[in-house]
Structure 1
Amino acid sequence: MKAIRVTALTGPDDVELAEVERPVPGPGQVLIKVAYAGVTFPELLQTRGLYQVKHDLPFTLGSEASGVVAEAGPDSRYSIGDRVAAITGSGTFAEYLVAGDEATVPVPDSVSLADAAGMPMNVLTADFALRVRANAQPGQSLLVHGAAGGLGSAAVQMGLAMGLEVIAVVSTDAKAEAVRELGATHVVFANGFKDATKEIFANGVDFVFDPVGGDRFTDSTRVLAPFGRLLVLGFTAGEIPSIKVNRLLLKNISVDGVAWGAAAFGHPTYITEQWETVREHVAAGRLNPRIHATYPLERTAAAIRELDERTVMGKVLLEVAGE
């Protein structure tokens, strides 16, 4: 079968389309004929050896995918023909993928396999951040940095589904239009977001969702209301910020780390339980990603470069077998 392989940690331009042996599912596993694979920021980092999870070279790239069960191993709860999505951390940029039942979720008939491929990591990360780490409640306010990106747009949609008032922070007019299409309550620009947010919420917001980091971090603490929480999800700006903790003390605010992978992969039933929690929103189409672009498998390098160039508005997919 064809697969995208990383043979050197020299960046996305050097990934290779190669022929590899088709995997065989073991007990409690399924072989998935991949329809689409989602492209995530960790893939960009993995091509450079910069992600916290390391794989021995060479390895097949890709963290999430959707498709149809082609073969079910002994004791698997899935059957041939089931429509599924999977989160495996590697191996999804391929024609076939083996995934454990614990990393596989059913896709409702109302959801396309293209949309399903763009959901797993972003939707479950957003759910973990807002429901589990923040304990967000209907009527509260949420500011989302990088709101037009894959993870940010999932946070916008999840916040709206949970009944939050959402401020989307973007950098361009085109991205502003994209998040308005998602239903964001308010849209502000990254340049001057602090003052713009204070005009909307004079006392500040309850939560800041930040996958960006960098130089906007300090102003994120300044837009929090008393008892507010800054949710740290990553550093796509490249710089890991620091903070003087007296700011936390004086305003009764907190900075919370959100490492969904560390929580999920330490608990075998976690992904299934989370998916069950968000299933109603998924089936109703409230969390369908905005598809920015779809590339064939052989153009994986170009797909990953889009993330590197910060031009993505929504989700980038690889089409493998299609619907």
Structure 2
Amino acid sequence: MRAFVLPSFGATPELVTVADPDPGPGEVQIAVAACGLNHADLLMIDGKYQEKPQLPITLGMEVAGTVTRLGASVDSLKVGDRVAAFPGTGGLADLCCVPAARCVPLPGGMSDVDAAAFQIAYGTSHLALVHRAALQEGETLLVLGAAGGVGLTAVELGARLGARVIAAARGADKLEIARNAGAHEVLDSDAPDLKDRLKAMGGVNVVYDAVGDPQFSAALRACRPGARVLVIGFAAGAVPQIPANYLLVKNITVHGLYWGGYLGFAPEVLTRSLADLFALHEAGGLHPHVSHRLPLEQAADGLELLRTRRSTGKVVITP
């Protein structure tokens, strides 16, 4: 089969031919129809991801496709089932093997592309806004990086939860996409007076930050007393340093959110969250935004779109 392989950290991934993977006990083999790209793939290439797998690896964290083989002791799925799955690695290939426990049967009306764009982006925002920040109806939610893979889902879910959503993104085109996803107000993140503009809008109750500094620092200083700040990622490359005295004076809480980490310490929380999200999608309540769909041969181009922040929503590779 074909696989998009990273031979060593910092190297250029290559599309190569490798042996088909065999499912181990408790695993299934999936014929990959679509694989969603994530900023974490870039961190993994650079050796900066929080989990460092043994190399070489096939990249690709989330997939959708059809079960083609069952490993020993698998009775929850059958050959021919359409599923979404979170393998963590291995998705940018014709076939991948995944623990059956990480597979979610797909609703009949959900496309493979939508499913591959769904789990990490919507899962991250749902856990962040509902489980960690407890976003309430009528509160003001600021989403930084609002047109990105996770940011756009935060805008959509925040609006569904009844919050007043302020979306910050770069450029008029991205701001229009955020507005179409449900943002009530939009701000160009390149503006030098982001903090002052947010304060003039009344400040914020919840900050959803997938970008990092300098936007994080501006947003922190526009927080209302009792605000909650969600640290999702650092797409801009700069990890913010948080002044603890500011948190104390304004009673601000900062939450870190690593979606995949829940598999290790509270998988039932993640499972319940995904069940709620798939039900919302089936009812027509969620609309994944995919700006680029590319074949496996162009996986490198897809990653470059993420690295240069030229995509909106998700980039999906379709082997």
Q: TM-score, normalised by structure 2?
A: 0.94
**1:97 alignment counterpart:** 96
**2:19 alignment counterpart:** 21
Listed as ranges, the matches of 1:118-133 within 5 Å are 118-133=117-132
- Asked whether 1:272 is paired with 2:271, we answer yes
- Asked whether 1:199 is paired with 2:205, we answer no
Q: Tell me the CA shift for residue 62 of structure 1.
A: 0.8
**1:141 alignment counterpart:** 140
Where does the alignment leave 5 or more consecutive residues of structure 1 unmatched?
A: none
Could you say what secondary structure the match of 1:3 adopts? strand
**1:36 alignment counterpart:** 34
Listed as ranges, the matches of 1:157-172 within 5 Å are 157-172=156-171
**2:62 alignment counterpart:** 64
Could you say what secondary structure the match of 1:214 adopts? coil
Contact 1:36/1:67 (8 A) holds in 2: yes
Distance 2:6 2:128 in 1: 30
Distance 1:240 1:22 in 2: 39
Higher RCO (CA < 8 A, seq sep 6+): 1
**1:237 alignment counterpart:** 236
Q: Tell me the CA shift for residue 17 of structure 1.
A: 0.8
Q: Tell me the CA shift for residue 215 of structure 1.
A: 1.2
Distance 2:131 2:269 in 1: 12
Could you say what secondary structure the match of 2:60 adopts? coil
Question: Is the deviation greater in 58-67 or in 253-262?
Answer: 253-262
Where does the alignment leave 5 or more consecutive residues of structure 2 unmatched?
A: none
CA RMSD across the alignment: 1.6
Q: Tell me the CA shift for residue 315 of structure 1.
A: 0.6
Contact 1:6/1:57 (8 A) holds in 2: yes
Q: Which of 51, 54, 61 lines up with 1:53 in the alignment?
A: 51
Distance change in 2, residues 1:268/1:209 (3 Å): closer
Question: Is the deviation greater in 259-268 or in 307-316?
Answer: 259-268
**1:298 alignment counterpart:** 297
Listed as ranges, the matches of 1:179-190 within 5 Å are 179-190=178-189
Could you say what secondary structure the match of 1:27 adopts? coil
The residue identity in structure 1 corresponding to 2:27 is Q
The residue identity in structure 2 corresponding to 1:272 is T
Percent identity reads 38
Contact 1:2/1:18 (8 A) holds in 2: yes
Q: Tell me the CA shift for residue 270 of structure 1.
A: 4.2
- Count of aligned pairs between the two proteins: 316
Contact 2:144/2:215 (8 A) holds in 1: no
Question: Is the deviation greater in 109-118 or in 156-165?
Answer: 156-165
Distance 1:76 1:165 in 2: 45
Q: Return structure 1 stretches of 4+ with deviation > 4 angstroms.
A: none
Question: Is the deviation greater in 65-74 or in 143-152?
Answer: 65-74
